């Protein structure tokens, strides 16, 4: 099951409020290329050893490099969850996973 996630994220970022954002990672002030759901991504950033500044929108903005780092973690995690999800409660797991 493949969703055009990349497209969706891009759309969100280039939409109404996405312009001119800076990377949320501490000490990084590069231009953000992604705006991400904090609930979903906080854990990946943590695992990638990235500290970020929280904001009230509950969004995490990432520059290209940091997105790459976090995404690497995300992919390995999702692989794990996917396996688990098929074994037990697949609908619940999948719902959370694709909830953008
Ligand atoms: Zn950055």
pLDDT, tens digit, for every residue of 6-54? 655 555 554 444 468 999 999 999 999 999 999 999 999 999 999 999 9
pLDDT at 7: 58
Cα 19 to middle of ligand 1, angstroms: 16
> What is the 22 CA–ligand 1 centroid distance (Å)?
8
Report the pLDDT value the prediction gives residue 16, as an integer from 0 to 100: 44
* Number of domains making up the chain: 1
53-57 mean pLDDT: 89
* Residue recorded with tokens 């979903």: 40
- Tell me the mean pLDDT in the region 55-83: 91
Ligand 1 centroid from CA 11, angstroms: 20
The reported pLDDT for the residue numbered 18 is 45
**Structural domain for 79, as ranges:** 5-97
DSSP state letters, 6-73: HHHHHHHHHSTT-TT-B--BTT--PBPSEEEEHHHHHHHHHHTT--B---TT-EEEE-HHHHHHHHHH
* Ligand 1 centroid from CA 3, angstroms: 26
CA of 35 to the centre of ligand 1 (A): 12
């Amino acid at each position: 099951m493949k969703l055009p996630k990349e497209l969706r994220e891009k759309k969100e970022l280039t939409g109404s409020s996405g312009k001119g954002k800076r990377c949320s990672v501490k000490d990084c002030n590069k231009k953000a290329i992604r705006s991400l759901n904090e609930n979903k991504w906080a854990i990946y950033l943590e695992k990638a050893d990235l500290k970020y500044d929280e904001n009230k929108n509950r969004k995490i903005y990432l520059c290209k490099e940091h997105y790459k780092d976090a995404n690497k973690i995300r992919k390995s995690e999702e692989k794990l969850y996917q396996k688990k999800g098929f074994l037990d409660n697949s609908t619940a797991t999948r719902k959370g996973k694709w909830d953008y």
